[in-house]
C-alpha cells in the first residue's frame, strides 16, 4: 500500500519515474548554510549531539533542493563513543580515537549507551514533526566492520590493515567486538525507528578491502545479525545495505543479510545493477566526481543510470557521499535533470 512517501514506497519495491532522489552526506560542507551552523556548534560532536542544530542541518538540503528523503545528521562513530570510547574530530585528519585492544574490548560497557545517545533520538523525534509529510526520514548506523576499523586503528587508513591484522591475530576478541557492535547498532536503529525514522541505512564503507572469507564473516554476518534483530520488532521497515566496494559480492548480499534495498557504489556496472534490481530496490550510483565536474560528464552519468535502472525500483543517489568542493549549481542541475527525465 502506498504511503505518500515516495522513497519509502520505492524501497518496498514500487517503481516510480522519475525516481525519487537524495544524496549521501547531503547535509554537509558543500552547503554554505551548513558551514555557518558548524561554526556556531563548536565541535563536530557538539553539532551531532545538539538536537536544535542537528535538526537545522538535516533540514537545510531539504529546504534548498527539495530532496525526497532526509537522513539524520549524525556520525557512524557515535556508537563506540556511546560505549565509552574517546572520540574527537580534527580538521584535515577526520575522526581520532584511542586504538582499542583485546583487553579494552572485554571492558566495553553498555549501561549508558542509550542515555548517551538520547540527543540523537530527540533529533529524530523533532525531524518527524518538522519535515514535510511526503519526505521520507532515514536513520542510519555504521556497519560493525567499518566501525571496528576506526576503533582498532584509531583513525582512518587506506586499506584498514590494522583491523584486518587484528582480526587475524585476535579472532575471538574481534568476533566479540563485531557481535557487540551488531547488537548495540540494532538497538540504536530500533530506537531511531521508534522515534520516527521510516527506514534505515547501514553504511559499510570499508567492505571492499576484505577477502572472500573475511567479507562473509566481518561484513555479511554482522549485518545479518542486525537485520534479524530489527525484523523481530519492525518487520516492515526497509533496511538499506550499502557495502561500498563489494564488487561481485553485491550478488547474494541482499539474500544473505536480509536487507530490503541495496545501495550501489559508482563502480557497479549498469548491467550488474539491473540484475540486482530484479531482486528489489537499488539505490545509487552516480560517481560523486561527475557531480563535481558538472556539464556533459554529469548529464551523461545521470542519463545512463536513468536509462539502465529507470524501469524498476530505483532511488537515485550518489555512489558515495557528496564531496565538499561540489558546486551548488551542479547539484541543482542534477536534481532538475532527474526530475524532468522521461523514459
Residues assigned a catalytic role? 25, 29, 38, 75, 150
Q: How many CA atoms lie within 13 A of 239 on its CB side?
A: 31
Distance CA 71, CA 89 (A): 21
Distance CA 69, CA 65 (A): 11
H/E run at residue 152: helix 144-153
Q: What is the three-state SS of 44-95?
A: HHHHHCCHHHHHHHHHHHHHHHCCCEEECCCCCCHHHHHCCCCCEEECCCEE
Distance CA 186, CA 301 (A): 35
For 287, the 3-state DSSP assignment is coil
Handedness of CA 167, 99, 319, 131 (dihedral sign): positive
Question: In whole angstroms, how far apart are CA 145 and each of 121, 185, 324?
Answer: 23, 12, 25
CA-only gyration radius of the chain, Å: 19
CB 117 within 8 A of CB 194: no
Amino acid at each position: 500500500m502506498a504511503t505518500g512517501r515516495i522513497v519509502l514506497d520505492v524501497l518496498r519495491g514500487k517503481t516510480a519515474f522519475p525516481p525519487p532522489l537524495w544524496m549521501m552526506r547531503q547535509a554537509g560542507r558543500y552547503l554554505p548554510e551548513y558551514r555557518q551552523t558548524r561554526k556556531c556548534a563548536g565541535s563536530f560532536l557538539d553539532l551531532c549531539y545538539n538536537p536544535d542544530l542537528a535538526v537545522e542541518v538535516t533540514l537545510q538540503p531539504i529546504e534548498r533542493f527539495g530532496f525526497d528523503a532526509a537522513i539524520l545528521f549524525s556520525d557512524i562513530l557515535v556508537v563506540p563513543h556511546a560505549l565509552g570510547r574517546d572520540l574527537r574530530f580534527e580538521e584535515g585528519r577526520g575522526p581520532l580515537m584511542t586504538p582499542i585492544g583485546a583487553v579494552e574490548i572485554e571492558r566495553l560497557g553498555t549501561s549508558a549507551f542509550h542515555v548517551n545517545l538520547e540527543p540523537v533520538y530527540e533529533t529524530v523525534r523533532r525531524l518527524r514533526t518538522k519535515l514535510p509529510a511526503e519526505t521520507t526520514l532515514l536513520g542510519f548506523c555504521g556497519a560493525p566492520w567499518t566501525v571496528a576499523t576506526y576503533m582498532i586503528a584509531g583513525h582512518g587508513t587506506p586499506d584498514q590493515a590494522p583491523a584486518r591484522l587484528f582480526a587475524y591475530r585476535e579472532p575471538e576478541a574481534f568476533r566479540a567486538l563485531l557481535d557487540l557492535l551488531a547488537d548495540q547498532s540494532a538497538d540504536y536503529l530500533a530506537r531511531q525507528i521508534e522515534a520516527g525514522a521510516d527506514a534505515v541505512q547501514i553504511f559499510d564503507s570499508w567492505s571492499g578491502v576484505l577477502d572472500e572469507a573475511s567479507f562473509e564473516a566481518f561484513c555479511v554476518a554482522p549485518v545479518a545479525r542486525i537485520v534479524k534483530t530489527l525484523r523481530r520488532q519492525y518487520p516492515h521497515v526497509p533496511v538499506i545495505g550499502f557495502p561500498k566496494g563489494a564488487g561481485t559480492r553485491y550478488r547474494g548480499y541482499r539474500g544473505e543479510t536480509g536487507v530490503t534495498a541495496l545501495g550501489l557504489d559508482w563502480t557497479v556496472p549498469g548491467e550488474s545493477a539491473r540484475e540486482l534490481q530484479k531482486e528489489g530496490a537499488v539505490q545509487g550510483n552516480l560517481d560523486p566526481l561527475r557531480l563535481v565536474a558538472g556539464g556533459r560528464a554529469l548529464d551523461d552519468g545521470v542519463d545512463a543510470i536513468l536509462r539502465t535502472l529507470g524501469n524498476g525500483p530505483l532511488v537515485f543517489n550518489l555512489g558515495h557521499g557528496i564531496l565538499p568542493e561540489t558546486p551548488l549549481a551542479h547539484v541543482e542541475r542534477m536534481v532538475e535533470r532527474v526530475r524532468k527525465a522521461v523514459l
